[in-house]
């Protein structure tokens, strides 16, 4: 009876994933899941976790609300995985106390800015195959990046070949603005679309006028072909 009472008295938030190790560090709970061959983020991470290490695994995606119940989290390490996709609401619910988020050494090419800009944590994004674009530029300008890793955010692909292989910060310092390029591309696309619609309207009007003209000519010819009233009277 005492054993079952003990089980019932232990809060669910204090459980530990089977593939991880939970310890106390200076009175704060640390959940250590490094190098455990994980392919996804464990769903039973204790709610009172302060430090969470998921590095050196095979995680490929961070889904929405993956850490929604971890309001006490201060440090989150997702480095050295195979992460390719991060959902917009991946870090929704993480408390404002998150100080460090490590996403370095993954396979991330792009990331929704909404996923990171709401965080006040210091970000590590180095050593990913980044596609240099407007969204990444906005993250670099607006998010809190670890200054020691900024130089390792390199353009793996880019709109122009001359940027490939260069640190994104170096490209931006040279005066490149990916957002203005994106805006010009959008403006051109809108202009082409509007021109297409305008052309369709003009063609329709021309066809409509021609069709009415042909109908009018046919009616005139028909009326001319009718025997005149005067000739019929004679």
**Domain residue ranges in the chain:** 21-176, 181-217
The Cα–Cα gap between 211 and 204 comes to: 10
Along the 234 residues of the chain, how does pLDDT read in single tens digits?
A: 443 333 333 444 468 999 999 999 889 999 999 999 999 999 899 999 999 999 999 999 999 999 999 999 999 999 999 999 999 999 999 988 999 999 999 999 999 989 988 899 999 999 999 999 998 999 888 889 999 999 999 999 999 999 999 999 999 999 999 998 544 444 444 545 565 665 677 766 677 777 677 667 766 666 667 665 554 544
Entry pTM: 0.72
Q: Which CATH number fits domain 21-176: 3.40.50.300, 3.50.50.60, 3.80.10.10, 3.30.70.1140?
A: 3.80.10.10
């Amino acid at each position: 009876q005492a054993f079952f009472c003990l089980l019932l008295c232990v809060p669910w938030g204090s459980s530990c994933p089977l593939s991880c190790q939970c310890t106390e560090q200076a009175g704060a709970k640390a959940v250590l899941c490094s190098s455990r061959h994980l392919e996804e983020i464990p769903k039973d991470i204790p709610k009172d976790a302060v430090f969470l290490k998921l590095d050196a695994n095979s995680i490929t995606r961070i889904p929405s609300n993956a850490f929604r119940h971890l309001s006490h989290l201060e440090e989150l390490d997702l480095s050295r995985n195979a992460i390719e996709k991060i959902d917009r609401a991946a870090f929704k619910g993480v408390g404002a106390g998150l100080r460090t988020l490590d996403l370095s050494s993954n396979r991330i090419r792009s990331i929704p800015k909404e996923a990171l800009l709401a965080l006040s944590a210091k970000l590590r994004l180095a050593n990913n195959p980044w596609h240099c674009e407007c969204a990444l530029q906005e993250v670099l300008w607006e998010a809190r990046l670890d200054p020691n890793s900024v130089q390792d955010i390199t353009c793996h692909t880019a709109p122009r070949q001359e940027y490939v292989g260069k640190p994104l910060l170096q490209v931006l310092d040279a005066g490149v603005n990916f957002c203005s390029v994106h805006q010009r591309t959008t403006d051109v696309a809108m202009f082409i679309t509007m021109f297409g619609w305008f052309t369709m309207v003009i063609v329709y009007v021309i066809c409509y006028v021609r069709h009415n003209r042909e109908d009018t000519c046919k009616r005139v010819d028909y009326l001319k072909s009718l025997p005149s009233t005067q000739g019929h009277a004679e």
